[in-house]
């Protein structure tokens, strides 16, 4: 049992942390009110960060802003990259493609410099807003609703100082429709969309590569695979290599950076299932109504996102979201293998019958 002094100190520390959180939230709220005031056009963006934060937080946050502050769709002009216009349907009256105004190499340089998360308005962002606004004729009187407001707003949730209910009060989720764009490859009648890349949640390590190779081999035994390996070095993630073949269709070298997300969205929307790294497009696929299997080995920073995703996807009628943690298989020295359709019953200890998963076998993970 804690001594009274220790309890009071702990309580005082908690009150101090809560007070700091409230002050930060009040500051963000003032900045947000300033951004949407008046009747001038509002540039929402430029969004240059990860896809996951965009579809799971930024777009739903913009919907909430529109409702809470009664901002008409006609005032909002979205800036994003890769042809993500369809994600903002019902949110903005216009879409500005960032890559019409800067080169993909500029985004790559930002990612390499560790500037992916837009926690402040950078000179780069200001220059891009000015250049794009002039190019599309928005005029000098433009308000800016910058992604840093969203990162500051939800920061307490990601750090554990706010609850899921806080995010739900300040977001509006909806299904996303795929854009009507051409696809540069012939798609099978039925296929699984796959995108594995190295990330903190799924590091590029030999044991992980063994698991992913076994997983994609097992998938390709059942369905053709469309591998969403763009070949575009725009962010800080490198795609895992999957051997091309008659059962694997690759996108590498076939995409234009300006429309790559539009094309990938179209392909995912037509897939039987999406399987990939827990991040990026794995957060988008359920909002397209596609069953999704996000794969990871390190969930240390995913817990808040996973909790939110499980809650909202079901609410909007999204695709089934079934995360797979490979760390247990790695620790046990197991590997994914044969098709689970060959599952059979075996007699478990004590005589009870249980399903034998032929899809997991012992082996050397390295």
Does 97 fall in a domain? yes
Same domain? 161 vs 13? yes
| Interatomic CA distance for residues 356 and 342, integer angstroms | 9
| Interatomic CA distance for residues 32 and 253, integer angstroms | 41
Same domain? 51 vs 138? yes
| pLDDT for residue 2 | 56
Residue at a domain's end among 106, 136, 169: 169
CATH of the domain at 198: 3.40.50
Domain limits at 296? 192-346
Does 8 fall in a domain? yes
| Per-residue pLDDT tens over the stretch 105-130 | 888 888 777 777 888 889 999 999 99
Does 181 fall in a domain? no
**What strands, in cross-sheet order, belong to the sheet with 143-145?**
94-97, 76-80, 42-44, 143-145
Give strand pairing partners of 361: 335
Does 55 fall in a domain? yes
- Quick one: tokens of 160? 């554990």
Determine the 3-state secondary structure of 93 from DSSP.
coil
Does 76 fall in a domain? yes
The DSSP bridge pattern shows strands 225-227 and 192-195 to be parallel
| pLDDT for residue 1 | 52
Residue at a domain's end among 138, 169, 200: 169
Same domain? 39 vs 90? yes
Structurally, the chain folds into a number of domains equal to: 2
| pLDDT for residue 173 | 97
If residue 352 lies in a helix (H) or strand (E), which one and from where to where?
none
| pLDDT for residue 360 | 34
Tens of pLDDT along the chain (366 residues) come to 556 666 666 666 666 556 566 567 768 889 889 999 999 999 999 999 999 999 999 999 999 999 999 999 999 999 999 999 999 999 999 999 999 999 998 888 887 777 778 888 899 999 999 988 888 888 778 999 999 999 999 999 998 889 999 999 999 999 999 999 999 999 999 999 999 999 999 999 999 998 999 999 999 999 999 999 987 767 657 788 877 778 999 998 899 999 999 999 999 999 999 999 999 999 999 999 999 999 999 998 899 999 999 999 999 999 999 999 999 888 887 777 644 333 332 233 333 333 333 333 333 222
Same domain? 16 vs 155? yes
Same domain? 300 vs 158? no
Does 184 fall in a domain? no
pTM of the model: 0.84
Does 127 fall in a domain? yes
| pLDDT for residue 40 | 92
**What are the CA-CA distances from residue 68 to residues 44, 92, 311 (Å)?**
16, 15, 22
CB 254 within 8 A of CB 184: yes
| Per-residue pLDDT tens over the stretch 144-191 | 999 999 999 999 999 888 999 999 999 999 999 999 999 999 999 999
Same domain? 145 vs 198? no
Residue at a domain's end among 112, 134, 169: 169
């Amino acid at each position: 049992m804690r001594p009274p002094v220790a309890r009071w100190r702990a309580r005082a520390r908690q009150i101090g942390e809560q007070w700091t959180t409230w002050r930060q939230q009040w500051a963000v709220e003032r900045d947000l009110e300033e951004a949407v005031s008046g009747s001038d056009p509002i540039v929402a963006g430029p969004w240059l960060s990860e896809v996951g934060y965009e579809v799971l937080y930024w777009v739903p946050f913009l919907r909430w802003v529109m409702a809470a502050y009664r901002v008409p769709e006609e005032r909002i002009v979205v800036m994003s990259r890769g042809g993500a216009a369809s994600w903002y349907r019902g949110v903005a009256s216009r879409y500005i493609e960032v890559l019409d105004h800067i080169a993909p190499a500029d985004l790559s340089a930002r990612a390499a410099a560790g500037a992916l998360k837009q926690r402040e308005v950078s000179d780069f962002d200001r220059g891009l807003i000015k250049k794009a606004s002039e190019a599309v004729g928005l005029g000098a009187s433009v308000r800016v609703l910058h992604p840093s407001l969203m990162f500051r707003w939800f920061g307490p949730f990601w750090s554990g100082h706010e609850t899921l209910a806080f995010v739900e009060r300040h977001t509006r989720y909806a299904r996303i429709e795929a854009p009507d764009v051409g696809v540069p490859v012939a798609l099978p009648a039925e296929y699984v969309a796959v995108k594995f890349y190295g990330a903190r949640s799924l590091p590029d390590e030999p044991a992980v590569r063994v698991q992913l190779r076994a997983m994609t081999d097992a998938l390709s035994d059942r369905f053709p695979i469309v591998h969403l390996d763009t070949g575009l070095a725009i962010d800080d993630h490198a795609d895992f290599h999957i051997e091309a073949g008659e059962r694997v269709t690759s996108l590498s070298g076939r995409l234009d950076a300006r429309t790559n997300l539009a094309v990938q969205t179209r392909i995912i929307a037509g897939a039987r299932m999406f399987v990939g790294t827990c991040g990026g497009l794995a957060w988008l696929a359920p909002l397209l109504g596609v069953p999704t299997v996000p794969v990871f080995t390190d969930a240390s920073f995913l817990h808040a996102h996973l909790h939110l995703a499980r809650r909202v996807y079901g609410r909007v009628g999204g695709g089934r979201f079934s995360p797979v943690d490979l760390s247990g298989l790695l620790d046990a020295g197991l590997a994914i293998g044969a098709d689970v359709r060959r599952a059979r019953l075996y007699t478990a200890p004590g005589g009870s019958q249980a399903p034998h998963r032929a899809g997991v076998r012992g082996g050397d993970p390295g």
